[in-house]
Structure 1
Amino acid sequence: MGHRRQTVFERNVPARSVVDHALARTRQAVFWQDDLGEPVVYPTLSAPVRADVAVVGAGYAGLWAALRARQRHPGARVVLIEGRSVGWAASGRDGGFCGTRLTYGGRPDADERAALTRLGQEHLAAVGSAVAGLGLDCPWERTGVVDLAVELHHIDRLQEAASAAARVGAPHTFLDRAKVRAEIASPTYEAGLVRPDDVVLTHPARLAAGLAQAASALGVEIFEQTRVTRLVPPGRGGGGDVVLRTTSPAGEAAVRADRVVLGTGAFPSLLRRYRRHTVPVYGYAIATEPLSAELLGAIGWRGRQGLRDLARRAHRYRLTADDRIVFGGHDAVYHPGGHLRRAYENRPEASRRLAEHLLTTFPQLEGVRLTHRWGGAAGTANGPGPFLGQAAGGRVQHVAGLAGLGVVATHFAAELALDRFDVLDGGAGTERTALRTLRQVPAPHPPEPLRSPGALGLGLDT
């Protein structure tokens, strides 16, 4: 039986004392949420409400759906219901990479692949226009991204990607070992591919908070700490409306709506038919203290690009506005049973592994403290993702499978859900509604106890 090849992170493990020092003063807290300042608090739902459009979940997908619904139909009553607080889950915890990729995998033909690439660029521009036009208080850094070979066998992948980009005129630049290390001084880098137009960096928690404030200013009614316990389809005790049964500290209430968008992310779908189509997977991240100008000078990284290595379990990392490094990835943990628990957000072995990998990447950071460590769950589909399920003849749209795709894909999916509502009202279809790749609903994950080996087959931990 062959042996698995050691990675650069296993061949070059920092001294235990160096890692212990880095971790000694970390807090189990999300840096982005700590950096948000005093959040706006929205009321709980305490009385019945009738809405034209009800949205469940105040992560990016739900926030975009509520905001864009109100912009498309200024006279519509739009209600957004959140079980905890705006942006508290995956949307307020990720790395803040806004990329152009709209789907993973699948088998689009050449024309559809080109359309998805173009639409990704268009939706990135649309998100940027919204940030500027709505005056959102969040950074929007057009840094691009560098894909990084950290093993010799990764170099061919980058060269092939550079050649493919050249054929379509994309402004990507391949950097050999000397050039990439001159750009960013890491002894782990063997080559790099600079993609200047494919990623913008933002502050994820501030973006979510800003979207909520903009939606509220447009007339969207937002209710926090209000959990939807049940969805009742039309004709089952609710007349012609879709009914959402809710509970909050103020008591139980009902939201009756003509249209519903479900953007509940990693949480179980309110539609039973989709309960096994996604599973929650936990990822982890760490943040350093602000780095001195001298230390930043030793690393380089003057372009402040987002960085992504090609390790089997990839890392993604970036600089914050106050020059911290936020470093995440590698571990993707599925807990048997698919449960979501606060305790799962604290995984000391994952934080330690990330600290080791950060110090292997940048040994210049020896002596630097880590301030934050955190985790969070995202919903991953058994297919290309994202997918939009539906019920009640299309009056309920279920947006799911967005793990790893991020801000731009959530905007795209929200707009697609609203396109489908417009088609129900007699409107014309759009390029989005015509995409075959996005009409596919993936097969459900197998039930337990068969699911755990399936998760391992996807390269996940348990």
Structure 2
Amino acid sequence: MDRSANPPRSSERYLDAIADADTFPYWLDDVDEPDSNPTAVHNEDCDLCVVGGGFTGLWTAIIAKQRDANRDVVLIEAHEIGSGASSRNGGFMDYSLTHGIANAQERFPGEVEILEQLGRENIAEIEKVIREYKIDCDFERNGAIEVASTWHPENYTEELKEDYSILRDLGHDVVWLDRDAMNAEVHSPVFTGGLWAKDTSALVDPARLAWGLKRVAQTLGVRIYEDTRAADISETKSGIEIKTALAKIQAQNVALATNTFKPLLRKMNKYIAPVYDYCLVTEPLTAQQIESVGWRNRQGLADVSNQFHYFRLTADNRILWGGYDAIYYFGGQMDKELESRPESWAMLSSQFFTTFPQLDGVKFSHMWGAPIDTCSRYSVFWGTHHKNRVAYAIGYTGLGVAASRFGGEVMLDLLAENSTRATRTEFVQTKPRAFPPEPFRFIGIQATRWSLDYEDRTGKRNIWLRLLDRLGLGFDS
């Protein structure tokens, strides 16, 4: 008898749930995707050339035109606008520029208040542009809950309570949720508490946000070329030249916003490790299924383990569920084939049904993967080159949907040599520690992943993690 005709055993349901899913980002499965722009086929001259059409590049171009409407700005993108990490993430827009308050306190203890203020101002400016230009990106500012659960030891919960106290003292609208209060918000047998920060974050459809920012940039007069890969950068007597396959772009200044993709400046390579993250999205939930989960306030959620999950509702009441399994490939490999990893999707599916057993029978419609531009301080950093004519912002480590605007703004200030609250900070003026060369990079990252898993199971940081703490290296988020 054909086995497919038999009902699946309960132990296999998590596999059946992903069997028919499209291996394609849910956000890009949209009939409203805009038409592509032409490729650059003729030489161009401009004041500013932005390389990269993700969030950082788009915001850089927009802010440049907002500051000076007469500035001639060209943006080039190797593929389509927003086709990289900007449209393949979970759509979490967090105010933090430093990947959380704990990371800010550890690395920039004297600048926590100013970085908090800059982060709040940054997300407010994003919301202003979304509303002013009527960008249809399902923007929901419902806050986020960091969830304490049975996935991790109890001491993680105590650390989360410390974060609650810090955020409260900094004036944030935060609520501590005990087990009952947490389950009143979102129902799960594994949830034991949570920190609900009501004013720090929003949810968006990231692809629609990128497409909306493309429209805004063009409305302001930015010339955008797609399918135009930057192949080389060099200094000339009159400025900086960007070579593409068919054209040369001569610019007074260049802003590099290339995320995990091979940087034009080789020295950037040592600071970045491309780590692949994987994600699932369910089919739309029925009214009864939604009722079984609760989630009336539609917050974004993430658990607080080192190997953490992030999850949220979409506008059409699907659940996006991703994270946990961060994969680094030897030599920093990046390839389209690496975006597919069935074993990661299967593990995520199993963990999903452990978290939400009441959704047994739900299937996933989409699953995908994408690289994250990870650096050793877990937050964006900057640099300049070619006598301050070229600037870059990179290293968001998975939290760049909002911080990318700040990254672009600071790049412009560095190019103009503006002294601002931001550029005067150690946060902007310093870089993370570089990763070691291969094979030590690969060995170190694998040792770190094993050690973080050990800490998630025991609550103890082993000698390897303690060494990384002293060196300012590692992955702890």
TM-score by length of 2: 0.88
Does structure 1 retain, via aligned residues, the 8 Å contact 2:312–2:321? yes
Secondary structure at the counterpart of residue 29 of structure 1 = coil
Runs of 4+ in 1 over 3 A off after TM superposition: 104-111
Q: For residues 383 and 291 of structure 2, what CA distance do their matches in structure 1 show?
A: 49
Tell me the CA shift for residue 110 of structure 1: 4.4
- 1:414 pairs, out of 387, 408, 425, with 408
Q: For residues 327 and 227 of structure 1, what CA distance do their matches in structure 2 show?
A: 32
Q: For residues 414 and 209 of structure 1, what CA distance do their matches in structure 2 show?
A: 17
Which region of structure 1 is more displaced relative to structure 2, 366-375 or 170-179?
Answer: 170-179
Match of residue 7 from structure 1:
none
Secondary structure at the counterpart of residue 27 of structure 1 = coil
Tell me the CA shift for residue 109 of structure 1: 5.0
Tell me the CA shift for residue 384 of structure 1: 4.3
- 2:242 pairs, out of 241, 244, 253, with 244
User: Is 1:285 the equivalent of 2:286?
Assistant: no
**Fraction of identical pairs, as percent:** 37
**Deviation digits for residues 127-184 of structure 1, max 9, x if unmatched?**
0001011221211101100110113333212222222233333221111111211221
- 1:80 pairs, out of 75, 81, 88, with 75
Shift of the 141–270 alpha-carbon distance from structure 1 to 2, 3 Å rule, reads same
TM-score by length of 1: 0.91
- 2:431 pairs, out of 416, 419, 441, with 441
**Deviation digits for residues 60-97 of structure 1, max 9, x if unmatched?**
00010011111111111100010011111100010111
Shift of the 160–38 alpha-carbon distance from structure 1 to 2, 3 Å rule, reads closer
Shift of the 270–36 alpha-carbon distance from structure 1 to 2, 3 Å rule, reads farther
- 2:262 pairs, out of 257, 268, 289, with 268
Q: Mapping of 1:417-428 within 5 angstroms?
A: 417-423=411-417, 428=418
Q: For residues 39 and 364 of structure 1, what CA distance do their matches in structure 2 show?
A: 38
Q: Mapping of 1:50-449 within 5 angstroms?
A: 50-104=45-99, 105=103, 107-151=106-150, 152-233=154-235, 238-247=236-245, 252-423=246-417, 428-449=418-439
Secondary structure at the counterpart of residue 58 of structure 2 = helix
Tell me the CA shift for residue 275 of structure 1: 1.9
Paired letter, 2:213: L
Q: For residues 443 and 429 of structure 2, what CA distance do their matches in structure 1 show?
A: 28
Does structure 1 retain, via aligned residues, the 8 Å contact 2:378–2:396? no
Q: For residues 16 and 269 of structure 1, what CA distance do their matches in structure 2 show?
A: 45
Q: For residues 126 and 308 of structure 2, what CA distance do their matches in structure 1 show?
A: 26
Gaps of 5+ in 1: 1-13
Match of residue 5 from structure 1:
none
Q: For residues 10 and 149 of structure 2, what CA distance do their matches in structure 1 show?
A: 20
Paired letter, 1:287: V
Paired letter, 1:30: P
Does structure 2 retain, via aligned residues, the 8 Å contact 1:274–1:444? no
Match of residue 6 from structure 1:
none
Tell me the CA shift for residue 459 of structure 1: 2.7
Does structure 2 retain, via aligned residues, the 8 Å contact 1:177–1:190? yes
Q: Mapping of 1:16-55 within 5 angstroms?
A: 16-35=11-30, 37-55=32-50
Does structure 1 retain, via aligned residues, the 8 Å contact 2:65–2:221? yes
Shift of the 240–457 alpha-carbon distance from structure 1 to 2, 3 Å rule, reads farther
Secondary structure at the counterpart of residue 194 of structure 1 = strand
Does structure 1 retain, via aligned residues, the 8 Å contact 2:15–2:349? no
Secondary structure at the counterpart of residue 374 of structure 1 = strand
Does structure 2 retain, via aligned residues, the 8 Å contact 1:47–1:254? yes
Secondary structure at the counterpart of residue 68 of structure 1 = helix
- Root-mean-square deviation (CA, aligned residues, Å) is 1.6
Paired letter, 1:137: D
Q: For residues 315 and 44 of structure 1, what CA distance do their matches in structure 2 show?
A: 38
Q: For residues 148 and 386 of structure 1, what CA distance do their matches in structure 2 show?
A: 25
Q: For residues 265 and 120 of structure 2, what CA distance do their matches in structure 1 show?
A: 32
Gaps of 5+ in 2: 1-8, 454-477
Does structure 1 retain, via aligned residues, the 8 Å contact 2:382–2:394? yes
Paired letter, 1:28: T
Paired letter, 1:156: E
Q: For residues 56 and 232 of structure 2, what CA distance do their matches in structure 1 show?
A: 20
Which region of structure 1 is more displaced relative to structure 2, 126-135 or 147-156?
Answer: 147-156
Secondary structure at the counterpart of residue 387 of structure 2 = helix
Q: For residues 44 and 276 of structure 1, what CA distance do their matches in structure 2 show?
A: 31
Does structure 2 retain, via aligned residues, the 8 Å contact 1:158–1:174? no
Tell me the CA shift for residue 24 of structure 1: 2.0
Number of positions where the alignment pairs a residue of Structure 1 with one of Structure 2: 436
Q: For residues 85 and 441 of structure 2, what CA distance do their matches in structure 1 show?
A: 23
